[in-house]
Structure 1
Amino acid sequence: MAPAQTLLVVDDDPTVRLLTSSGLKKRGYQVIQAADAEQALRLMQDNTPDLALVDVSMPGRNGFEFVQAVRNGEAGIANQERPLLMLTGSDDVTSIDQAFTSGATDFITKPINLPLLVERVKYALRGAEREKALREAQMEQASACKLARLGFWQLNFSNDALTWSEDAAEVLNCTALPESHQALLGLLNDTDALRLNTALEAAQEGREGLNLEVTLHLSHSERILRLQSDPKTQEGHLIGAFQDVTALRAFEDKALYLAEYDDLTDLPKRRLFLNLLDEQLADTKMIWSIGVIDISRLHRINDALGIEAGDQVLAMFAQRLKQSLGHEALMCRLEADTFAVAIPHANSQQMQAYHHNWMQPLARAHKVKGEEIFVDFTAGVSLHPQDGSNSDELLRTALLAQRFCRYHTANQRVMFYQDVEAFDDSNALSLENDLRKALGNQEFFLVYQPQQQLSNGQFIGVEALLRWRHPMRGVVSPGEFIPLLEESGLIIDVGDWVAGEACRQLAQWQTEGIEVAMAINISARQFEQAGLAKRLAQHVAEYGVKPQQLELEITESTAMSNPEATLATLYELKKLGFKLAIDDFGTGHSSYEYLLRFPLDTLKIDRSFIIDVAEARQNRAIVRSLTALCQGLGLKTVAEGVETQRQRDYLDALDVDDVQGFLLARPMEPQACLTFLRKQAKSAVVN
């Protein structure tokens, strides 16, 4: 049984100390008491409590000063990161802000509500455990950053001062770095100096961002630096990133390998797999079968034994794939728990038996962390040429067969696409077939979720969300039909319809006297299409709305799949006047390097960081770091998934600009949204 956690109660009022301590002891905590800050600091050094409850008003050092002292290390290094809850009779924003500025974890107002205090203590202790794990992860990330030789710089155009991130000298392995623009030019050859000067002038004038490589001639060595920045400056400052790419240039082949191969399983990624398969289909007359194998319930292994155990299972599963198939087969890791294979056959006889046989070893138990783990899976197989003429079609039909096998069969691991139609229950096929007719039958519609500006409470925008009203099944869940749209390629036409409908609705609301911005999601497949910018420009022109009133949202994973192509498309859209946003930020690559380069207007913070923002200090730290970064870059922040008033209050205190979520309003159809916006506009006028 784990020992009871120790709490320190710091309050100059003996009655408050006694009542608080007594209530906490009844909840199973050990409690020590201090009457002032000095005594509390000594007790923390001797006892190292798990959490401290600190009164604001005390003789000598007040609660704010005590918290600052702990954070500065006066209570010992072991206590610097301890959760500190402030007890105060004040509930104004200034006191709350001062508490957080001092380093407090949370605050609670007097008179103390003991049940509420116990819950806040419990959440703070849990948050401390998560924060410890986060610090360890951040240390690993900092090490990775050093290994990648990344850093930041800032140029002040008014006095030519050039400053670097704290570890820049260490990254570049030198004792001192140039402290001015002119000093930097002195370390470059004439050609690099001219290129850098030209680029800086363009960035200062906001014409384009900085993105070039120069060779820095230091006393002991030469370093190749890649310098990047946003085209915008903030009050005469230009902020950018640098990377020492000296060693990187020697390992470009390795970088190419990592771009095309999955580092966990050492298998090709989806794009390389499809390219290789298309080459084989063009060069051979053999019959090819394409299989998709999806591991069932991998999340249970992750939950029970940890993510590392799940990764071990994936690596061993991939190894068995290689052992089960010959060297002529192609293999790849499609997604987290999904693999694809392509196998050549001399003829089609006994092909089904072949697939059942080679998959049998995949089901054997895996030994992970001393335990035997049985991995189940479902598979779908398509055949060339009858199920598809190219790699995309063959993969799509194999995926459809796999999904059908997973959801519509019992005690069956493998399903061939040609056998799917033999089943009476053909919902999987019929749903996709119905989806292909839905656009022509006008079954799609949009709902709109309002976005609120925290500074004044006004609703300044809406996000358009796609819905499908099936003639027989009613409204189909987006999670069910949007993946089908993506896989089938229908998302391109449907996405174009969404853009046009959003423009039409925006124009109609404007005639009703409602002025809001409209956010629409651009899918990965849409974003890859040539002519996207031209098509969007046609929509805004047709309905007479301004491009600046549309905010185009792309996900972080879409942006990072091909950063250079993304950059070109974003600049094309930006040139036409569209607002640009990164959606679900923080859930994928989180590359600050490209965040500096992309011409963005908005960063949407993923709801996974918002859920616990009121309880977990590390979530607040992450959100605050993002808002500070965005303020420096001139970006607006929008927090998604806000469901409680407490979350909203914290986000306001953390300088988030806009919020959206169920607390404010659920997604609504056009008329309901119009009524809502009118009501809010009238309320704002009255107030």
Structure 2
Amino acid sequence: MVFRYSQGVFGVPGTHGAVSKLIKVLSTWLPSLRTRFVLLVAGLFLALSVVMIMVASYLDLRDEEQRVVSDARAIGATVSRLAVPHLTNHHYLILEQELESIAGSGVVELAQVHDPARAVTIDSDPDTSYFDEMDQHPLITLSLQTGLDQIRQTGDRIEIALPVRETADSPVLGVALVSVKRLQANGMLFAIWGRNIVITLVLLIFCVPVTFHFAENFVRPIKALTQTAHTVSAGNFDAPFPVERTDEIGVLARAYRDMVGTIRNNMARIHELAFVDPVTRLPNRESFRQHFNSNMQLADGTPVRMAVLFIDLDRFKRVNDSYGHDHGDALLKEVAARLQRLLNTSDKVAAGKTAFPPLVARLGGDEFAIVLPAEKPMSNVYTLADQLVQCVEQPLEINGLTMAVGASIGVSTYPDDGEDYTAILKNADIAMYAAKRTGGNRACFFNEIERDSRSHERIRLEAELKRALLADEITIAFQPKIDCATLRVVGAEVLARWDHPERGLLAPGCFIDVAEESDLITRLGDRVLELACRQGRVWLDHGQRLPLAVNVSIRQLEKPGFTARVLDILEITGFPAELLQLEVTETVAMGDPERISEAAKPLLEAGITFAIDDFGTGYSSLAHLQRLPFNTFKIDRSFISGLADDHHSRSIVQTILAMAKSLNYEVVAEGVETEEQHAFLAENGCTTAQGFLFARPMPAEHFEAWSKAFLMDGNHPRLAVGAQPKGGSTFAA
């Protein structure tokens, strides 16, 4: 009866009389209107539920079929992608293991990959091997012929074959086949019907009677919580949650409140890490950049005149070296506090007159920067610069110790000295270095040094060097190292060269200083090291095992991640670590022996060796030498050049050789140009020499030809002086 009534509701003709009769019978049996209404709603609900079960069963069955096909296709695509490198390199065993792992998940019944190049079929069955002969699946054959995906559905499984390609346009490397079990329709229908019937009964028994009375009570707090969630998603983390409730809505509201509180705290922490210097609590470089850029122009696009003061502390490194980084950090905090107090005082004096608030930030290391409005005349900037110098030079009390540092300040003005933040900061940096070159503890304005041709040359050379690193204009040359006793080539020093498009081949002396000051030395050093290791690997593959020495700058050692970059380059190029030697000048090594030892430790463990370059020109301490990771001295060329007529040079060289022997160090003599120098070194126990007596620095292809000629000739030094292989000239020193 209920079913017939429901048909009438849905427009089936001839049911109006049946509905009337049903209502009359219910009115007779059940005098309560409430009971009749509930039964009527229950009947409608039951009829609609039957229809919904039928529709849902059909849709769920179709969705389940589509899901199985989609899963099979996705798994096939995964197998196809996995098979690309294995088919390319014919690594069948690894591929077989991966297929077995895929089949072991229980979803896939069978996974196969066919390699037509070798007529091999690799499958997921652990009882078979790709050595076994197997019948080729029809779908694999069809996919190979057409180059298209093939699918076949049977009563109990779905099989999909997909061509294996490196890219969509690449030729077919093979075919991946996946077979997935297909669920039985009867079983799925029974499961779907059972689930929907249970749901319907539960709703009919429990939900219908309660809905009319409690729906609004349930919906109202959910609506309030939803509105609060929308408010939070719009960025208002202070929106109130209905946490006073004691039911599940209150629990959910409190969970939301706690989650939003955690997100708020995390965002505050992220903002602090991104924009606040952890040592001084000043804004960091990124915050400074954003402050500058946000105040560059007025609303109408008019540039706002502003000055950037680049502050570098004088003699700060001496504090770090003498007292440690803890004292250095404390000094930075005190300087930051002084700068902030001075800027706050200046800001109060100019209150209401400035276009934007001044900002002091720590850019990194011992570098600070200030940006402030610079109205003409710039008396406020000149006054502040002088005050900053006087402020910083006052003695500081750090952990009970009295310390004194100075400040070299460079000032550049926007838009007079540059069109954007990068140019202004760079020019302020240039002005700061000009202040340092004149003794430090003073301020220098960029517009006062812009007529200096050397400044312009430095700027131009820096820009060209950046372009050269991008355009691969940096090359390397190799100067051979010769065994003093056997006159055999035992290694080579790698020297950077810049193949400048206008000036020709430039030696390091023309651009290393610029690279050091502009912080391009890290990229330059990485480039030279990578080129050296790649060439060393090429020679090693050709049977020539040649140790290579590469110079390392103090800026490279100071940069975080130096050790990781060296090891990455060795891994990428395949050059053995034991054939690589890193050269550090004596001045750098003795200036910060702890940093050198710390940076060198993992490299030593990897097999890399270290050498002290230009030994004898610095102030080496035997105590430091024992702790440092070096095993090679390189005697500076200034001592070698004086061996002929300078008694002091001969004594110094003999002393270095004796000390090296007692410490079990190897010695390399640089700048050997005469046979007399070579003879003296050999007589006094020098192991290795390099210099123009043997060869000038040369490119890799000339080095190979020179090595062969050098080994074949019996009169090595006379042959090598000024000599070069035919077919090309050597590099200039």
TM-score by length of structure 2 reads 0.42
The structure where helix makes up a greater share of residues is 2
Bigger-Rg structure (1/2): 2
TM-score by length of structure 1 reads 0.44
- Higher RCO (C-alpha 8 Å, min separation 6): 1
